[in-house]
Structure 1
Amino acid sequence: MAIQLHQNDLPADVDLGNTVAVDSETMGLNLVRDRLCLVQLSAGDGNVHLVQFADRDYSAPNLRALLRDPHVTKIFHYARFDLAMFEAHFGEPTGPVYCTKTASKLVRTYTDRHGLKELCKELLGIDLSKQQQSSDWGAAELTPEQMSYAASDVLYLHQLKEILDRLLARENRLELAQQIFDFLPVRARLDLLGWSEVDIFAHS
């Protein structure tokens, strides 16, 4: 595995293909209070690019272009949070989207354990370490342990997508999954606008 760290943007000559795994690290889980610190990307080839925003410069023209490219599918695990965080910092929606957590909830109905660690363990036989999950991602310099942890969050998303797609097809839920993925950027925008805890589809 090779990890490349970049400051404030993805280099213009990086080509990640038409399906890229994406994740983010933030100062916390509050979309209003907490800032975006790191974006991780992988083409599924075992290599990872980390884009760090230590000085809070979110202009990032190359990364923005990739995130909004209609010909590149972005694979997330729990896309709802990352999409909202990206729109809050980059000012525009990300898409098209695939979410492994959503796909898991549609087909692994025999369990309520849909975290990335659980998915990797069951479907790939890989035991992920989550030790650095709550570390300080706003630090000016990331530790090797932080970078390794961040990379692991995108390294296996292509493999998970392949397996989950087979399960979605088996359960006749591929079309349903795609419709949900298409809606996720809107769901993320609702979170940003204050409807994160309100079910607008409820009767009451």
Structure 2
Amino acid sequence: MANHLYHGDLPDGLDLGPVVAIDCETMGLIPRRDRLCLIQMSSGDGDCHLVQVSLDIAPAPNLCRMLADPNVTKLFHYGRFDIAALFNAYGVLCQPVWCTKIASKLVRTFTERHGLKELLREMVGTDISKHQQQSDWGAPTLTAAQLDYAASDVLYLHKLKAELEGRLAREGRTALAQSCFDFLPTRAQLDLAGWADPDVFAH
């Protein structure tokens, strides 16, 4: 298990496979206001590839090519936020996507606890630390603790996806989940356009 840190873009020739787990660290929770600082990715092999984003959001052709590739599923936990952050920074809309938080809400209706830490503990048997969650991601040099924290948000998503797929099939909600995933990029665009609250679907 290793972290690979890059500056500005993924390296030429890096193939992360057909399903790439992705998470973002930003300066806050409003994508239009709070800049994107770090993007972490994993193919599910135990390694994490992290791209530190410059202040001026330099072009990242290799990263953007992967985000837009219709043959690569982008796997998120709470993809609504990350898709919006990536689209706001690079103008690339991630498709197709899969979201473990949406899947959890569709099959774990016995609880309101759908955070990644809770899901990994219950379904994968892994306990991750959230200690660095609110650290300064805009710092020019990130600490080893920050990188390890960022990596933990993507390293186990493939295993979590497999567990949730089984539950979706068991409950007969696979097609419903897929419809939600298909709409998620549009939901992210609505957020950026100003319809996060009120929601256009609200009464």
8 A contact 2:73–2:98 mirrored in 1:
yes
Give the TM-score taking structure 2 as reference length.
0.98
CA distance in 2, matches of 1:123, 1:58: 38
CA distance in 2, matches of 1:41, 1:80: 17
CA distance in 1, matches of 2:193, 2:113: 29
Aligned position for 2:15: 15
Shift of 1:123: 0.4
Please tell me whether residue 199 in structure 1 is matched to residue 199 in structure 2.
yes
CA distance in 2, matches of 1:25, 1:46: 20
Letter paired with 1:107: V
CA distance in 2, matches of 1:69, 1:11: 16
Please tell me whether residue 182 in structure 1 is matched to residue 175 in structure 2.
no
Shift of 1:29: 0.4
Q: Percent identity?
A: 60
Which whole-Å deviations, capped at 9, do the CAs of 1:99-139 have from their partners, x for residues lacking one? 00000000001110000000001001111100000000000
What secondary structure does 1:86 align onto? helix
Shift of 1:32: 1.9
User: What residue ranges of structure 1 are gaps of 5+ in the alignment?
Assistant: none
8 A contact 1:54–1:139 mirrored in 2:
no
Shift of 1:169: 0.2
Aligned position for 1:148: 148
Aligned position for 1:63: 63
Shift of 1:31: 1.8
8 A contact 2:67–2:74 mirrored in 1:
yes
User: What residue ranges of structure 2 are gaps of 5+ in the alignment?
Assistant: none
CA distance in 2, matches of 1:117, 1:138: 23
CA distance in 1, matches of 2:198, 2:159: 34
Which whole-Å deviations, capped at 9, do the CAs of 1:32-81 have from their partners, x for residues lacking one? 21000000000000000000013433310000000010000010000000
Aligned position for 2:130: 130
CA distance in 2, matches of 1:5, 1:56: 18
Shift of 1:199: 2.3
Which aligned segments of 4 or more residues in structure 1 are displaced greater than 4 angstroms?
none
CA distance in 1, matches of 2:167, 2:57: 41
8 A contact 2:67–2:92 mirrored in 1:
no
Please tell me whether residue 160 in structure 1 is matched to residue 163 in structure 2.
no
Aligned position for 1:120: 120
CA distance in 2, matches of 1:73, 1:181: 11
Please tell me whether residue 31 in structure 1 is matched to residue 27 in structure 2.
no
What secondary structure does 1:4 align onto? strand
CA distance in 2, matches of 1:58, 1:196: 27
Please tell me whether residue 80 in structure 1 is matched to residue 80 in structure 2.
yes
RMSD: 0.8
8 A contact 1:58–1:89 mirrored in 2:
no
Give the TM-score taking structure 1 as reference length.
0.98
CA distance in 1, matches of 2:83, 2:36: 11
